[in-house]
């Protein structure tokens, strides 16, 4: 595009020269001269180079002659098939052009918003920031959420500002960790990898590990880097459910005794200093009780008694014969085994649900004149509910795989090392 008188004049002269050259070329109707290769053989001493030039000229001349002989117009008219590919390509190109136009409009809109926004010195948590996605992204990128930055002397894009943030991070790291480490694997404290998070906060590690093992029945070696967000929400729900029970009991005790201070059941008086030791002892005690219970079951051959109902009390005897109206058979393993085994007639026994087992145990304890602690019962019930939630991902099973016995399921989870 020619603008101005000088450019227009130059463009006019260029068109005139092009017309003159075209007329000279059109006036030359004589056949083009052929190359005298004999003459060039006498002038060029390198015969190999001359032969390469001669062969290349002959090849290209033959190729051009064949192209000129072709009737391209008739070939195009005779082509009837293959136009679907052309139509598809044309449609795709049209969509690409529309997408490009949309990108161009969005870019222009973003540039207009950026130009209309106030300067960085006026950036703050105001209404326009909440409604402006551009400045929201700017704030998140520069990791500051208040107007504490001295914009007149500090540049968030500069290396000096990054060095200041890193020095402040190391100071906070040493203050809160107290381990004297300067190893930087992340940018901010709340963005630590889960390994370093669990290395500092042992309580959440125990809580999350217990939930993971109960929820999946897997191995601790397969503990994920980050659990699904639904699992964290479920942990919070269970925690508040247990604390709801503990808080009600604490309130009753506190108001009735009018004591100066009161503490939750199954919690130390000083969780900040004695919490780790207290809960370690609590977990060790529960582990020892579980081992004693399993030892008693194994001593009486009750452990892994699939297909049989173990009977040790009169109430158990009555419930066993109620399963099939007394049509089954009782078996005894001798006087030294304090248990009878009842095999019901008919189909095999179904695997009981965890919550069903808890309610049966709680009923037995109540009917024998005893009772669980309220907080212990709430935690126990929550544990069985998490166990039963395995059914959603295991096709209705929570302990055994389809066609698997309880013995095989237990040995599959036991670490033999």
CB atoms within 10 A of CB 317: 15
For residue 101, the model assigns a pLDDT of: 92
- Average pLDDT value for residue range 213-231: 87
Closest CA to 190 of 145, 235, 248, 136: 145
Residue 54 CB partners (closer than 8 Å, separation 6+): 37
pLDDT at 43 over 50: yes
Compute the Cα dihedral for 365, 367, 369, 373 and give only its sign: positive
State the residue for tokens 């020619």: 2
Closest CA to 340 of 296, 308, 315, 307: 308
pLDDT at 145 over 60: no
Closest CA to 139 of 129, 148, 151: 129
Q: Is 322 in contact with 344 (CB distance < 8 Å)?
A: no
- Average pLDDT value for residue range 389-410: 84
pLDDT at 129 over 50: yes
Q: Which stretches does DSSP call E strand in 171-305?
A: none
State the Cα–Cα distance between residues 60 and 268, nearest whole angstrom: 95
Split at pLDDT 50, 70, 90, the class of 266 is confident
For residue 358, the model assigns a pLDDT of: 92
Split at pLDDT 50, 70, 90, the class of 186 is very low
pLDDT at 406 over 70: yes
pLDDT at 153 over 60: yes
In the chain, the percentage of residues whose pLDDT exceeds 90 is 20
Span of 20-34, 226-240, 263-277, 388-402 with lowest mean pLDDT:
20-34
Between 271 and 29, residue with greater pLDDT: 271
pLDDT at 12 over 90: no
Reading phi first (left if > 0) and then psi (alpha if -120 to 50, else beta), residue 77 is in alpha
Residue pLDDT, tens place only, 341-382: 999 888 878 888 999 999 988 988 898 889 899 999 999 999
- Average pLDDT value for residue range 19-40: 77
For residue 187, the model assigns a pLDDT of: 47
């Amino acid at each position: 595009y020619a603008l101005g008188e000088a450019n227009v004049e130059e463009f006019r002269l260029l068109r005139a020269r092009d017309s003159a050259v075209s007329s000279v070329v059109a006036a030359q109707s004589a056949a083009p001269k052929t190359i005298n290769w004999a003459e060039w053989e006498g002038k060029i001493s390198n015969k190999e180079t001359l032969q390469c030039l001669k062969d290349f000229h002959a090849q290209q001349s033959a190729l051009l002659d064949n192209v000129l002989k072709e009737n391209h117009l008739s070939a195009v008219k005779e082509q009837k098939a293959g136009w679907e590919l052309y139509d598809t390509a044309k449609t795709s190109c049209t969509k690409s052009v529309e997408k490009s136009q949309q990108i161009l409009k969005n870019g222009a809109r973003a540039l207009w918003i950026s130009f209309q926004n106030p300067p960085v010195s006026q950036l703050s948590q105001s209404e326009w920031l909440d409604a402006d996605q551009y400045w929201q992204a700017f704030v998140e990128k520069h990791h500051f959420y208040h107007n504490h930055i001295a914009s007149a002397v500090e540049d968030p894009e500069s290396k000096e500002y990054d060095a200041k943030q890193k020095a402040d991070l190391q100071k906070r790291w040493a203050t809160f960790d107290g381990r004297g480490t300067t190893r930087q694997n992340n940018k901010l404290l709340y963005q630590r990898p889960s390994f370093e998070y669990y290395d500092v906060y042992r309580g959440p590690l125990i809580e999350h590990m217990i939930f993971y093992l109960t929820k999946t029945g897997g191995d601790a070696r397969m503990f994920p880097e980050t659990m699904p967000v639904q699992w964290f929400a479920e942990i919070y729900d269970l925690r508040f459910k247990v604390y709801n029970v503990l808080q009600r009991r604490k309130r009753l005790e506190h108001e009735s005794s009018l004591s100066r201070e009161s503490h939750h059941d199954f919690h130390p008086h000083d969780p900040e200093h004695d919490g780790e030791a207290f809960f370690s002892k609590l977990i060790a005690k529960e582990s020892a009780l579980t081992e004693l219970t399993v030892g008693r079951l194994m001593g009486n051959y009750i452990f892994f008694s699939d297909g049989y109902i173990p009977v040790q009390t009169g109430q158990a005897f009555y419930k066993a014969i109620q399963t099939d109206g007394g049509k089954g058979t009782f078996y005894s393993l001798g006087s030294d085994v304090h248990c009878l085994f009842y095999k019901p007639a008919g189909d095999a026994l179904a695997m009981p649900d965890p919550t069903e087992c808890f309610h049966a145990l709680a009923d037995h304890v109540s009917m024998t004149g005893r009772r669980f602690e309220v907080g212990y019962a709430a935690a126990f019930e929550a544990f069985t509910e998490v166990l039963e939630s395995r059914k959603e991902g295991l096709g209705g099973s929570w302990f055994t795989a389809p066609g698997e016995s309880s013995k095989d399921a237990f040995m599959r989870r036991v670490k033999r090392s």
